[in-house]
Amino acid sequence: MNWTSVALALFEFALSAGLGLLVVYVNYRLFIVTNRDYDAEVEMKKNNLGAGILLAALLIAGGLIVREGVYPVTNLVRLYVTSPVDYVNGWQLALLILGHLGLVFIVAVYTISLSLRFWGRMTKKLKLGQELKQGNMAVGVVLAGVVMVMALFVSDGVSRLTKSLIPQPSIGHVEFSR
């Protein structure tokens, strides 16, 4: 058994589980704090399905976006542990991990928030917040769709961005003779 691989797999599992819980908590709290039109916790207690569907979509969307930023981080750790070349030290590794995860969280939160605000401005006549407060499930479903579409598109961009920011070890120079 390769204990390095086992340790890396356990690290990836712990990181994914921790980030999953963090994404759920942060997105939930942000939705509660930033929503000015109604109290989402009160609406959920009243069994408001529209608000519940929107909240579920926000949680899933945040998870989709952040998940794409986890893969480059785990690859960075894998390279650090298995590479014979020291291309980053432990402090640099920790800062790179925190920087990548911070970037991914910021992108996820702002993308979701901006997409809802943009959609709200495009549909001013509907007064979406008030409709959700009144239990309009159709509005919750449409807003959930907006959030999910944005998450699907943005997650690929987050993946490419974070992968491009990962430092790669030099493998040397290759010369071809004639």
- Give the pLDDT of the chain (178 residues) as one tens digit per residue: 888 889 888 988 998 899 889 888 988 888 888 777 778 888 889 999 999 999 999 999 999 998 888 888 888 888 888 876 677 788 888 888 888 888 888 888 888 888 888 998 999 898 888 898 898 999 999 999 999 999 999 998 888 888 888 776 666 666 666 6
Tell whether 169 is covered by a domain: no
Task: State the residue range of the domain holding 115.
Answer: 3-164
The reply to whether 102 falls in a domain is yes
Residue 177 lies in a domain: no
How far is C-alpha 33 from the geometric centre of its chain's CA atoms? 18
**Residue 172, in any domain of the structure:** no
Give DSSP secondary structure letters for 96-117: HHHHHHHHHHHHHHHHHHHHHH
Q: How many domains does the chain have?
A: 1
On whether residue 176 sits in a domain, the answer given is no
> CA-CA distance, 98 to 165, in Å (whole number)?
13
Is 50 within the bounds of a domain? yes
Whole-number Å distance between alpha carbons of 41 and 22: 19
